[in-house]
Amino acid sequence: MKVLVINCGSSSLKYQLIDSESEEVLAKGLCERIGIEGSCVTHQKAGGPKKKEEADMSDHTDAVKIVIEKLTDPADGVIDSLSRIGAVGHRIVHGGERFKGSVLIDGEVLEAISQCSALAPLHNPANLIGIRSCQQVMPGVPMAAVFDTAFHQTMPAKAYLYGLPLEYYEKYKIRRYGFHGTSHDFVSRRAAQILGKKREELRIIVCHLGNGASVSAVCHGKSIDTSMGLTPLEGLIMGTRSGDMDPAIVGFLAEKEDMSASEVINVCNKRSGVLGLSGGLSSDFRDLAQAAADGNKTAETALEAYAYRVGKYIGAYAAAMNGVDVIAFTAGVGENNAEVRQLIAQYIGFLGTSIDPGKNRIRGEEVILSAEGDRVVTMVVPTDEELAIARETVALVEKR
């Protein structure tokens, strides 16, 4: 079956057409600046060049129509008609407590996703627009919703409750939800497979280190804790997000800088993390590693602070699971950035594992970084959230 995977933001739409039998990506692309002047589409057929062009997209329905045009284009397309698309898988950011797994989309599911919008006001409404636009352009094609939060719904109350008056959880559902669930699930599953073990036998710490970053404790196949919280702001220091900090800072800064609470949170989301720590130099870890190598001390400190926080979470989650068998690195930084992994290496030795500098030079591939005989296996497992969404979608469609 050919599955179209859609990741819809407020002004963008990412897509991949995946053949579920071969698990190959047939084509992929990105629509940008939807509803804004200068909208454009970048499309790439497998093995072909990336082609970017301007395209009129006044709304997301226009964008979906353009995606279909590109996929069926005689030169750059990969299918001869829309009817070749057997299913659509949508990435949905927040499923609240309602969604503990992926589901086929119907009217009730749409309503429930809409009810979760209060928890993710920037993301869920955009995800819903993506679904409705696809339904308009592809009526009758089965569609699935795959949630970033679902994998973490197995967390126990002691991990998901904040130390706040319980009434706020009861009234507003304020709790830890966690994100990147599709990736934490995919990577922990794959890590076990690579080691020839059952995931249910293992205690795995997954470090998803991208622009957004989170760590999870996957104990015997279930997420029992993760570093992101009610929103993706909590936890690690990220590209532009602060991660954990004293909540009193929000009030303090609001007063000192004459900002509202939401303005301070905006600073924490967009101007903090390694970008903020490096004095605004860059949120890109390649730039920071280069600057640090050239002797830039603030870039060096930003990277050290980043790695230190990851190290602390690994230690915490080893305690949460009363031990750890596997530490897996994934996403842009986790898969590719040898400098950051080497910095993290200094905090994991006590667990009985190591990062071999030679193997650590390998980029973007499945590789075991620890030495033969180490008590804990440390490895790189590239994530593939789109493939995971396609698999979930096919499983649901075939079960109908």
Residue among 144, 277, 302, 331 that touches ligand ADP (CB under 6 A): 331
Determine whether 148 is an active site residue: yes
Per CB under 6 A, 269 contacts ligand ADP:
no
Applying the rule CB under 6 A, the residues between 223 and 262 that interact with ligand ADP are 239
How many C-beta neighbours within 10 Å does residue 395 have?
A: 12
Give the strand pairing for 367-368 and 377-380.
Answer: antiparallel
Which of 59, 62, 73, 148 is catalytic? The answer is 148
Side by side, which strands form the sheet with 213-219?
Answer: 222-226, 213-219, 203-209, 326-330, 377-380, 367-368
Residue with Cβ nearer ligand ADP (77 or 232)? 232
**Measured from the CB of residue 303, what is the shortest distance to ligand ADP in angstroms?**
11
The CB-nearest residue to ligand ADP is 332
- Residue 190 in tokens: 């794959």
CB 214 within 8 A of CB 179: yes
Stretch that binds ligand ADP, among 34-42, 137-145, 207-215, 352-360 (CB under 6 A): 207-215
Backbone phi and psi for residue 278, each to the nearest 5 degrees, phi listed first: -90, 15
Residue 210 in contact with ligand ADP, rule: CB under 6 A: yes
Using the Cα atoms of residue 10, residue 16, residue 17 and residue 18 in order, give the sign of their dihedral: negative
User: Interface with ligand ADP includes 363 (CB under 6 A)?
Assistant: yes
182 Cβ partners below 8 Å, 6+ apart?
91, 146, 148, 151, 385, 388, 389, 392
Out of 286, 297, 361, 375, which residue is the one contacting ligand ADP (CB under 6 A)? 286
Binding-residue total with ligand ADP (CB under 6 A): 13
Least Cα distance to 216 among 177, 158, 190, 169 occurs for 177
For residues 39 and 55, the answer to whether their CB atoms sit within 8 Å is yes
| Cα–Cα distances in angstroms (integers) from residue 390 to residues 23, 102, 142, 396, in the given order | 9, 11, 12, 10
Binder of ligand ADP out of 211, 298, 301, 354 (CB under 6 A) = 211
The nearer residue to ligand ADP, 95 or 334, going by C-beta atoms, is 334
Q: Does 332 bind ligand ADP (CB under 6 A)?
A: yes
Q: Should residue 285 be labelled a site residue for ligand ADP when binding is judged by CB under 6 A?
A: yes
With respect to ligand ADP, which residue has the nearer C-beta, 61 or 227? 227
Residue 390 binding ligand ADP, by CB under 6 A: no
Q: How far apart are CA 265 and CA 251, in angstroms?
A: 10
Q: Shortest Cβ distance from residue 332 to ligand ADP (Å)?
A: 2
Minimum distance from residue 210 beta carbon to ligand ADP (Å): 3
- Which residue bears the tokens 């190598």? 293
Q: How far is the CB of 138 from ligand ADP (least distance, A)?
A: 26
Classified as helix, coil or strand, 348 is coil
* DSSP symbol at 371: P
Least distance from ligand ADP to the Cβ atom of residue 83, Å: 32
Q: How far is the CB of 121 from ligand ADP (least distance, A)?
A: 20
Residues of the shown chain interacting with ligand ADP in the complex, contacts defined by CB under 6 A? 210-212, 239, 284-286, 331-333, 336-337, 363
Return the active site residues: 148
